[in-house]
Amino acid sequence: MRFTGLCAFPLTPLTPLTPLRPLTPLTPPLAAPSPASFAVDEGAYVGLVERLVDARVDSIGALGSTGNYAYLSRSERARIAELTVEAAGGVPVVVGVSALSTRDVLAHVADAQRAGASGVLLAPMSYQRLTQEEAFGLYETVAAELSVPLVVYDNPTTTGFTFTLELHGRIAELPGVTSIKIPPVPTSPDAARATLAHYREHVSNVVTLGVSGDGSAAAGLLSGCDAWYSVLAGVLPRECQALTLAARAGDSVTAHAISARFAPLWELFATHGSLRVVTAVAEVLGLIGSGSLPHPVRGLDAVGRRAVLRALEAAGVVEG
């Protein structure tokens, strides 16, 4: 499996747990669950995945950062992997398997493979900051146990780990490594091409490079990225697929025009983090309920939500 084109990352919407009612008026009330308790909203989740299938995305990324993987239990993650593969109807599914300990990563790998994932996505999550050699050891251990392709997930903001290009090159040689989800590239074409060329000095063409940071997707795809690992595509897959197809056909005018429609949204991503913004987008579109983020992470306040609504109006996604 070679991951190219648009890989859309659905949110994993949560629903706050409300206190259980006592069975009869004589039963003592059960302990009220904490305000931090939640369950996965499986119905809303399947709806999000079906929307991606309808929009003909090239692959689906379950349990990415946007999919709240870091906050869910092993059984919740295994269930999401199963639900995604079922609802994907043959569209390849790559499942996030990252965890702080290699022991837990391998458990998530086993669950993802059992669920029928077409690949796994692995970031070097860290609590103690990892050395380059420790991160290599993680990928080496996991690659030795995998029977599906591996996508390397490079996200210094969430993991606190910075890959050197030399490390990317070493990991790319491991068996089964098929793609790297790279951080945002510069938006200027020359600088984006130079960034890609630096990767290619270390990483062979057998391994695809996929851009992340949705605001730099057009620049990334037009300057040689093979794929776009997209947060926004989790909620607006048609618009993102139109951008992807235009860019991969070399139509830079159309690709940049679609990206420019979402410029106010990219600014909100930078201010609030893409997860909080895309969650608000999904709420505005009626795809998920409120309170869907895992505490301590919280949704945008009223001011932020109004800014998201205005950004969607500016993009023509909702009527003003």
Question: What are the residues binding a second copy (CB under 8 A)?
Answer: 34-38, 65, 70-71, 100-103, 105-106, 124-125, 127-131, 133-135, 137-138, 141, 145, 157-158, 160, 273, 275-276, 294-298
Q: Which amino acid is at 289?
A: G
* 254-269: b (≥16 Cβ within 10 Å) or e: bbbebbebbebbbebb
Distances (CA, A) of 174 to 92, 145, 146, 152, 166: 22, 12, 11, 11, 13
- C-alpha 271/C-alpha 179 separation (Å) is 29
- Considering beta carbons, is residue 125 or 315 the nearer one to a second copy? 125
- Considering beta carbons, is residue 99 or 172 the nearer one to a second copy? 99
Find the shortest distance in angstroms from Cβ 299 to a second copy: 10
- Considering beta carbons, is residue 157 or 188 the nearer one to a second copy? 157
- Residues with Cβ within 8 Å of 215's Cβ and at least 6 positions away in sequence, in order, are 184, 187, 259, 262, 263, 266, 269, 270
DSSP code for 93:
E
Q: Which residues pair with 153 in a beta bridge?
A: 181
153 an active-site residue? yes
Find the shortest distance in angstroms from Cβ 91 to a second copy: 27
Distances (CA, A) of 268 to 13, 182, 215, 273, 300: 20, 21, 11, 7, 11
- Considering beta carbons, is residue 71 or 189 the nearer one to a second copy? 71
Q: Which amino acid is at 162?
A: T
DSSP code for 130:
P
Q: Which amino acid is at 122?
A: L
Find the shortest distance in angstroms from Cβ 131 to a second copy: 8
Angle in degrees, CA 68, 73, 75, rounded to 5: 115
- Considering beta carbons, is residue 3 or 161 the nearer one to a second copy? 161
181 an active-site residue? yes
> Is residue 66 annotated as involved in ligand binding?
yes
Which residue in the list 45, 69, 139, 181 is annotated as catalytic? 181
Which residue in the list 45, 69, 139, 153 is annotated as catalytic? 153
Find the shortest distance in angstroms from Cβ 95 to a second copy: 17
Find the shortest distance in angstroms from Cβ 151 to a second copy: 18
Which residues contribute to the annotated binding site? Answer: 66
Active-site residue numbers? 153, 181
Which residues contribute to the annotated binding site for pyruvate? Answer: 66
